[in-house]
Structure 1
Amino acid sequence: MSARSLRRDLAIGLGAGLTVLWILAMLGATLILREELGEVYDSLMEETADRLLPFMGAEDIADLPPRAEVLLTWALHDAEGMRFSDDADPADFAPDPPEGFSTARDQRHFVRRSGGRVLDIASPLQERREALREVMTALILPALALLPLCLWGIVWFTNRRLRPVADLSTEVAGRSPGDLQALTTPALPAELLPVRDEMNRLMADLSEALAAERAFSANAAHELRTPIAATLAHVQLLRDAADGPLRDRADKAEGELKRVTRLAEKLLQLARAEHAGFVSGPVDVAPILQLVARDFGMSPEIPAAPVVLRIDPDAFAILARNLIENAVHHGRNAEIRLQADGTLVVANDGPVVPPGALAHLTRRFERAGARNAGSGLGLAIVAAVAGNAGFDLTLRSPRQGSVQGFEAIVGPKGGQGAGTLRR
């Protein structure tokens, strides 16, 4: 289930709320206007009756206005019978209407009695409905024209006020896994400040925990070097003085001690790789790669022009050594290639690493099933150096263009290994 958008929910909620309130306001305005128009028309009918009734005693009422401007008609009940105004429909008037206001046959009536005469003023309700419709049209049409502008304003205002949320999200998403510095997103609203402060507190705690772990690993590895070296020297002396089975055991002990020495060195490299930043001034890494590869008796494929990267030279040497060592120990026909854009490709023709194991090779002490080969820290060191140097690391198995082997690609973002850490 995908996450709901707060921006969308706010825009839709506020827009729907505004629309509903607008509709209710129009309905309320319609009811009020209908009542007010009814009162105005009734008042006009009453006033018309009061003004016409004194003239109704004349012998000749032909000069009386046959019809008012507001479509009023009348009927007069007296001793001579019933007389009607021009255009009056006799069917609209009752022979004995009740005094006051009443409604019949879609007509509004007002009856006034005086001196034996009864004046019945009639006004068509259709006229009132038309007047109400015209007034409401004059109100609704401008409101309808402004409603989209109001909805757009809600969307714009919502996006503007939620921009700090996007800025905070962008700052968090732009952090590398090892960057635990405090967040500094400016202009955050009061509601988001506790979120940022709690995230900063959490990252500070994580930074302290990671620093303690790295310090422990580095100190432990450093402290182990001297006693391991001393023990190795004693074992070598014992081996030289021993014969037969004892010498064989001394050889095995010497091998294990050398393995422990290499493990201590790897732990020191890992502690440094996870703790230090390796971005530095431009440096030509081609001679460094040649020097490291020479230790393994290999000749890398290097461009003729200098390959300049912004990385600490020691860090690049650590990265290259661990990649080459991994390729040599876990396969055959190792190849090293440095591209002009600074991408380093190290591959071999070893067995294919299963996808499940490939996804975990940058974990500490992960050997992809080869429990007796290597320390399981080489690719973890490579991943740490690449991350702190701002490089990308890609692991493939089988290697590109083959059905077997393993390939590691590391280089600046945007090169062949562009993207986040991939496997």
Structure 2
Amino acid sequence: MSRPVSLQYRLSLGLTLGVTLLWLIATTVTALIVEHTIDRTLDSSLEETAQRILSLAVVEIYSREDDGMLQQVAALRPHDEYITYLIRERDGTPLLASHDVELSTFPQTPQVGLRSTATHRLYGTTAVSDTFFIEVAEPLASRRQTKWQAMAMLLLPLTGLIPMSLIGVWWLVRHSLNGVRAYQHALAARGAGDLSRVEEMRLPAELVPIAEAVNHLLERLRRALESERSFTANSAHELRTPLAATLAQVQRLRHEAPPGRLQERAARIEASLRELSRLSEKLMQLAKAEGSGLLTEKPQDVRPIITHVVDDFCRVPETRLDVFLPEKAPVLSSIDPDAFAILLRNLIENALKHGAEDKPVEVNLTAEGMLRVVNAGPVIPAEVLARLTDRFSRGNTRASGSGLGLAIAQAIAAGVGATLTLASPATDRLDGFEARLRLPS
């Protein structure tokens, strides 16, 4: 998937290219106008030059002693002659020419008016009843050079206009999008459980309806989640007291009942009530996991929490737990202590319940905050491993359970911005199961 392009980049590049394109169009139109104006001006100069020279040349020709000889006008000082001329008789005999003239420039037959050859622009006119013809020539290369110089002068400001426009547009767009960037940062900085209203922060008028729609959506989502959590927590809480009372009555009945089928039934009812009590406790933990407040403002050392949870498990005889904690430096994390205790308890319960009975469960915490809970046992297929964090999902096991332990751990990990990773076989082993996550620092 391609990376999205920012609005600031699009506007800055688009406006700069637009200004450049408009400048090029204006330059092209101006160049055409300048070219037409230059042609008219230079053609007019050729006409004026021809008429002035011809009037003087006729006097010069009539005052000659030798008729029919070509005479070239001497230059007063050395210079480059851009305009040359040639005066001829009606039959084409050359009479008078400029000092640097090339006769091959002029066609053999003189012609009145403006015309162009491959290399020169020509103007011809006559005098004394078409007795004398004059043609004035100007190199087309000179005209092209003049036009390109004019074009260069028009394009020269563009070399400075493009970077200046880009910088100016970039700054203006960036300044105009300050509210949008602040809104973006406010959304990006939120945790997964923060569904409070987002301030609009001087958004442009076009984006205000979007911000209001986002706030309405967050409000509806918050209410829906709070309703679900409240129902789950209240249901579990309301079930706890009658379940405890019923369990006490069933235990009393079991002890008072004579040996036989009645006592066996009471034992099965007691086991079912205990399972239902554990389910209500898991539902309360799930409501806690999916709620907000999973992070604290001040990081705390998580090692005492691990020690406390492990000690609770070790009160049960024959509990198989090996704990490895950093001894020197504390391991600080911003996860809520109660949420971390629930997460760790569910991971350890899952490992004890589904791991090999003759192998201990390892609880390992590194100094970098990497928590690993590892148990021995057969390798879990990949397709089963992928759905173990779903609610009420259980692997191929006969052990009792509600299928909520790993779902609760996954919900807490997602709520604090961590990733719960499940692996089978465990790291550096050929079998077993491993749950690991890096605690938020």
TM-score in terms of structure 1 length: 0.81
Q: 1:163: Cα distance to partner?
A: 7.1
Q: Give the direction of change, closer, same or farther, for the CA distance of 1:29–1:318 in structure 2 (3 Å limit).
A: same
1:73 aligns with 85
Instruction: Give the 3 Å change call, closer, same or farther, for CA 125–262 of structure 1 in structure 2.
Output: same
Aligned residue identity for 1:101: L
Comparing 387-396 with 40-49, which one deviates more in the overlay? 387-396
Q: Are 1:230 and 2:245 matched, yes or no?
A: yes
Q: How far off is 1:388 after superposition? A: 4.1
AA at the equivalent of 1:408: A
Task: Output the aligned Cα RMSD.
Answer: 3.7
Matched with 1:57 is 58
Match of 1:250 in 2: 266
SS in 2 for 1:122: strand
Aligned counterpart for 1:112 among listed residues 107, 125, 139? 125
Residue 85 of structure 1 pairs with residue 97 of structure 2: yes
Change (3 A) 1:291 1:135: closer
State which of 286, 307, 311 in structure 2 corresponds to 1:290.
307
Instruction: Report what 1:211 is aligned to.
Output: 226
**What is the identity, as a one-letter code, of the residue corresponding to 2:409?**
V
In the TM superposition, 1:123-142 aligns within 5 A as: 123-140=138-155
Correspondence list, 1:377-396, <5 A: 377-389=404-416, 393-396=420-423
In the TM superposition, residue 213 of structure 1 has moved relative to its aligned partner by: 0.5
Q: Indicate the residue corresponding to 2:347 in structure 1.
A: 323
Partners of 1:353 and 1:161 in 2: CA distance: 55
Of 123-132 and 21-30, more deviation after overlay is shown by 21-30
Matches of 2:19 and 2:353 in 1, distance apart?
Answer: 70
Deviates most, 124-133 or 190-199:
190-199
Equivalent in the alignment of 1:5: 5
Moved more, 30-39 or 164-173: 164-173
Residue deviations 1:191-248 (CA, integer Å, cap 9, x gap): 4333333222222221111111101111111122233233333433443325423322
**In the alignment, is the contact (CA less than 8 A) between 1:108 and 1:124 conserved in 2?**
yes
Distance 1:63 1:322, change over 3 A: closer
Letter in structure 2 aligned against 1:374: G
- Work out the CA distance in 2 between the residues paired with 1:147 and 1:384: 53
Provide the rounded CA distance (Å) in 2 between the counterparts of 1:163 and 1:357.
48
C-alpha distance in 2 between matches for 1:411 and 1:47: 92
* Paired residues, number: 414
- Please give the alpha-carbon distance, in whole angstroms, between the structure 1 residues aligned to 2:173 and 2:384: 46
Using the TM superposition, give the Cα deviation of residue 151 of structure 1 relative to its aligned residue in structure 2, in angstroms.
5.7
Structure-1 separation of matches of 2:245 and 2:424: 41
Structure with the larger RCO, 1 or 2 (CA within 8 Å, 6+ apart): 2
1:221 and 1:264 in contact (8 A); partners too = yes
Is the deviation greater in 359-368 or in 57-66? Answer: 57-66
Identity over aligned residues, as a percent?
Answer: 40
Residue 274 of structure 1 and its aligned partner are, at CA, apart by: 1.8
Instruction: Work out whether residues 391 and 403 of structure 2, in 8 Å CA contact, stay in contact via their aligned partners in 1.
Output: yes
Matches within 5 A, 1:388-407: 388-389=415-416, 393-407=420-434
Letter in 1 for 2:285: Q
Distance 1:377 1:106, change over 3 A: same
Matched ranges for 1:182-221 at <5 A? 182-184=197-199, 186-221=201-236
Change (3 A) 1:308 1:35: closer
Q: 1: distance between equivalents of 2:261 and 2:219?
A: 55
1:171–1:185 contact (8 Å) kept in structure 2: no
Decide which of 355, 362, 369 is 2:389's aligned counterpart: 362
Question: Structure 1 residues 383-392 or 254-263, which shifts more?
Answer: 383-392
Superposition TM-score, scaled by structure 2 size:
0.78
- 2:247, 2:273 within 8 Å by CA — same for their partners in 1? yes
In 2, Cα distance between equivalents of 1:413 and 1:228 = 37
Residue type matched to 1:47 in 2?
E
Tell me if structure 1 keeps the 8 A contact 2:294–2:335: yes
Q: Which residue of structure 2 lines up, in the alignment, with residue 417 of structure 1?
A: none
Cα displacement (A) at 1:255: 0.8
**Deviation of 1:321 (Å):** 2.0
Please say if residues 334 and 348 of structure 1, whose CA atoms lie closer than 8 Å, have aligned partners that are also in contact: yes
Determine if contact 2:86/2:94 at 8 Å carries over to the other structure: no
Q: Note the residue ranges of structure 2 that are not aligned, 5 or more in a row.
A: 65-70
- Match of residue 271 from structure 1: 287
1:316 maps to a residue whose letter is: F
Q: State the shift of 1:353 in Å.
A: 2.8
